[in-house]
Structure 1
Amino acid sequence: MPVRERMRGYRVAWKLNWRDRGGCCPDALRRKEIQGEGCLARKRVNARKWSFLLPILKYWRSQEGTPTNRELGEGSSVAASRILPVTGEPIHRTIPLLAARLVRNEDRLNAIASLVNNIPNEQVEVMSCEIEQLVMGHLEMGNMIEQLSTQFGEAMEFIGLLCTASTTTRNIMCDIDQALDTTRAQVMSLRRAQQEAQARERDRDQTIETMATTIQKLQRRLDDNQGKP
């Protein structure tokens, strides 16, 4: 394999796996190696376009178990180390292994593609319309809840004002009750004083009548005494 193609494969493998390692791409190291080999500038590979394959391959690895010796590259010249000198990655995580796994799982990919292709467009449109209606209904429900919360806040403020007015009215009623009690006590005192005054007036009238009777008796006696020789 030419050096240019081998380095290109290393670069693609690194681009696909550098996120899982949590490191950064050693561009300076690869640039020096490429300049040492006398290669021209290579086309960059956008790893984000192929990032969707990583979860699928991880799931397939968990389902398939240990890769075969052929997939591990037991017959190659690099099988002794099983570590790529450029990327430092195990050889079973390189592009040949990914390609072999993709070929072996071609039936699964075809089944997924068939399932996606068999979905009716009308049903998808209907589902999208229903989802849109649900979203709009959710938004309307949110607006209604906001309006209800506003009305509830206003009602609570009005209830607070009513409670304040009720407390004020209760205080006024208590003051009125106290004033009525005071007035009632004063009326009772005036009534007792009136009764006492009426009793004294009756006593005075009786005294006056008694004195008038006594005076009349004395007058008659005087008249009788003057009429005698």
Structure 2
Amino acid sequence: MEKGFLHLHVTIVSIFILLYVAKVYLLLANKSEALEKLRSKTKIADMILGSLIIITGVFLTVKMPSIETFLIVKIILVLASIPIGIIAMKKANKPMAITALLIYVYVFALAKTDSLRLKKEAYITPVAIVDSSSAQGPTAVDEGEIIYTAKCALCHGADGKLMLNGAKDLSVSKLTKSEAIEMIKSGKGIMPPFKDEFNEKQLNALADYAEGLRK
């Protein structure tokens, strides 16, 4: 269900932005008559799209395992951009229209990367925890547990059985190690892809730890 809402949300936002791009173009090109015609024809569509964006956005936010900084910024920008965009078109204010468009594009990119800098940040295993695990340094499973606790336990649970937000019961998983790694890389449903966050060593460690949760 979450995956369906996510795809719906992305589709709706994409259509909304494309329509707004068309309006901004007409405004900047001083094609007032064409702009008014487009605004008139899409008035109901804008209302429906706006409502669906809010509904699907709220649903996905509630389903998020945690509220991070990028998500708070995203919500604030969306709430700020809506009145800016409406006023810009009503008053044919070009600077405001461009501002609203830039915010829409930034928020869309922010949602795709989950990063304020629009770039996935690599996950760094906490050095203090790693170094204290043993005199020889951490084993693959040690690091896997650290990563699992930080990134996975909130939805999967400490024992892998929580199944929050559509997460699978890892204790009965039949995935091979390579399949598990691909799942971690690609994500599924509202589980984000981690291919840009974890290196190969971390992926292997996490897959090993998850496999150890099986009955």
TM-score normalised over the length of structure 1: 0.19
Larger radius of gyration: 1
TM-score by length of 2: 0.20
